[in-house]
């Protein structure tokens, strides 16, 4: 039996293009893993504007929306429950690529294969941009000449089932290897021994609230060597976002990255709402968790309203809307800090 049609895209919350698919694997194995993201540590990140950018690409980052703040999750827990077998493809592997994929699927493995989306027949980058991406292959198509993948190539931050011909994967691998680039072929399977130790009943320690609060109040400036850039962390990232609002939002030319990043804040608060409701049912101080649940739900709603306002502004190029958008953002940031204060009260009461 192969994994064909036995896995569904995970779109409850946007982690990233790999981790969302790892969540799909675990949920397919046991639906109780749907609750695992409730315990992921959360941090807010934003690139600092006043720094030197490699190749002077600040303007390009602004136009793409890549200077917008984002939600960063610590997803290390995912990797405790999975096994990875990694290899680099060579030129001699390309004629055998279909056989390699089918062999992995027949052994109940999933595959992440580096594919240049330029060679896709459709999607954002198809025929336009060379964009190397770990494509998640989870099943075989009836024809045998294509595979079922789960990709975010149709819309950022949203996973879709997508059929990719073997011919596309081989053409991409040929191009990348000839260009001197590495092509990873990674097989992923569930680690049965670690799965047995998973807490399927799912309990959350009250200390998690204290950790969430500490992360939000951590105003560290962090240097990410991979990109050669400094990032402002914590709620300070959002206050900087307000200060830099016109410079960051004004140059936006298209909506996809803005929609993704603002949606991630709304999703994070929906996740927190579920967490607080869970703790409310288990706590001897339910009123505090009920208040936190209400605050997180309100913030999720406000981030969605803000998202809609700015997208309309970008589409219509209506400059007056920038004042309204900034005011909405200022109100959101105030309520973010208010929720952190409620977290502090909840932590003090639970520890007393």
SS3 string, the chain, reads CCCCCCCCCCCCCCCCCCHHHHHHHHHHHCHHHHHHHHHCEEEEEEECCCCCCHHHCHHHHHHHCCCCCEEEEECHHHHHHEEEEEEECCHHHHHHHHHHHHHHHHCCCEEEEEEEHHHCCCCCCCCCCCCEEEEEEEEECCCCCEEEEEEEEEECCEEEEEEEEHHHHHHHHHHHHHCCCCCEEEEEEECHHHHHCCCCCCCCCCHHHHHHHHHHHCCCEEEECCCCEEEEECHHHHHHHHHCHHHHHCCCCCCHHHHHHHHHHHHHHHHHHHHHHHHHHHCCCHHHHHHHHHHHHHHHHHHHHHHHHHHHHHHHCCCCHHHHHHHHHHHHHHHHHHHHHHHHHHHHHHHC
- Which pLDDT band holds residue 6 (cuts at 50, 70, 90)? low
Whether 200 has a pLDDT exceeding 80, the answer reads no
Claim to verify: residue 338 and residue 247 sit in the same structural domain: yes
Number of domains the chain is built from: 2
In this prediction, residue 1 carries a pLDDT of 33
The pLDDT of 329-346, averaged and rounded, is 95
Q: Which of 127, 147, 182 is the last residue of a domain?
A: 182
Residue 17 lies in a domain: no
pLDDT exceeds 90 at position 278: no
Same-domain pairing of 70 and 212: yes
Residues whose CB falls within 8 Å of the CB of residue 243, separated by 6 or more in sequence, listed in order: none
Residue with tokens 């603002």: 262
- Whether residue 289 sits in one domain with residue 251: yes
What average pLDDT does the segment 108-118 reach?
94
Same domain as 94, residue 68: no
Same domain, 215 and 312: yes
The pTM (predicted TM-score) of the whole model is 0.85
* pLDDT tens-digit map of 31-48: 889 888 988 889 999 999
The domain in which residue 333 lies consists of: 44-74+202-351
Does residue 192 form part of some domain?
no
232 and 285, same domain (yes or no): yes
CA diameter of the chain? 66
Token code pair at residue 95: 């004629």
Task: Say yes or no: 174 and 136 in one domain.
Answer: yes
What pLDDT does 318 receive? Answer: 67
Structure confidence at residue 201 as a pLDDT band (50, 70, 90): low
Contact 135, 123 (CB under 8 A): no
94 and 69 inside one domain: no
Last residue of one domain, picked from the residues 182, 210, 225: 182
Task: Judge if 52 and 145 occupy the same domain.
Answer: no
pLDDT tens digits for range 136-168: 999 998 777 899 999 887 777 789 988 899 999
Residue 60 lies in a domain: yes
Whole-number pLDDT of residue 261: 92
Residue 300 domain-assigned? yes
Q: Has residue 259 been placed in a domain?
A: yes
- 218 and 325 share a domain? yes
Mark whether 163 and 222 lie in a shared domain. no
Q: What are the pLDDT digits (tens) for 208-247? A: 888 899 999 999 999 998 788 999 999 999 999 999 999 9
Residue 25 forms part of a structural domain: no
Query: Tell me, what's the pLDDT at 206?
Result: 67
**Is 2 contained in some domain?**
no
345 occurs within a structural domain? yes
210 and 326 share a domain?
A: yes
Contact 310, 249 (CB under 8 A): yes
Write down which residue in 182, 213, 245 finishes a domain: 182
């Amino acid at each position: 039996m192969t994994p064909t049609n036995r896995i569904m895209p995970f779109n409850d919350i946007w982690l990233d293009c790999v981790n969302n698919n790892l969540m799909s694997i675990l949920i397919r194995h046991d639906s109780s893993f749907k609750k695992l993201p409730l315990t992921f540590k959360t941090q807010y990140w934003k690139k600092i504007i006043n720094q030197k950018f490699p190749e002077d690409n600040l303007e390009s980052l602004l136009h793409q929306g890549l200077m917008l703040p984002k939600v960063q999750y610590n997803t290390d827990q995912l990797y405790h429950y999975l096994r990875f077998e990694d290899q680099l493809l060579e030129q001699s592997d390309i004629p055998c690529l279909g056989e390699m994929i089918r062999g992995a699927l027949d052994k109940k493995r999933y595959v992440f294969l580096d594919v240049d989306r330029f060679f896709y027949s459709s999607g954002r980058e198809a025929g336009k941009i060379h964009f190397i991406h770990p494509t998640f292959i989870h099943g075989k198509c009836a024809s045998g000449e294509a595979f079922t993948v789960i990709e975010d190539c149709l819309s950022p931050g949203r996973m879709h089932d997508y059929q990719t011909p073997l011919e596309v994967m081989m053409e991409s691998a040929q191009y990348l290897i000839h260009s001197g680039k590495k092509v990873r072929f990674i097989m992923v399977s569930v680690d049965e021994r670690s799965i047995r130790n998973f807490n399927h009943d799912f309990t959350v320690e009250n200390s998690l609230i204290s950790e969430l609060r500490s992360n939000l109040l951590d105003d560290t400036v962090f240097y990410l060597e991979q990109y050669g850039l400094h990032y402002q962390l914590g709620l300070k990232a959002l206050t900087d976002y307000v200060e830099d609002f016109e410079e960051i939002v004004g140059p936006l030319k298209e909506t996809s990255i803005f929609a993704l990043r603002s949606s991630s804040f709304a999703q994070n608060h929906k996740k927190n709402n579920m967490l607080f409701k869970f703790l409310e049912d288990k706590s001897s101080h339910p009123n505090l968790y009920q208040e936190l649940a209400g605050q997180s739900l309100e913030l999720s709603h406000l981030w969605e309203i803000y998202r809609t306002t700015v997208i309309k502004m970008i589409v219509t190029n209506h400059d007056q809307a920038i004042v309204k958008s900034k005011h909405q953002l200022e109100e959101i940031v105030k309520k973010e800090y208010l929720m952190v204060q409620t977290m502090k009260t909840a932590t003090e009461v639970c520890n007393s």
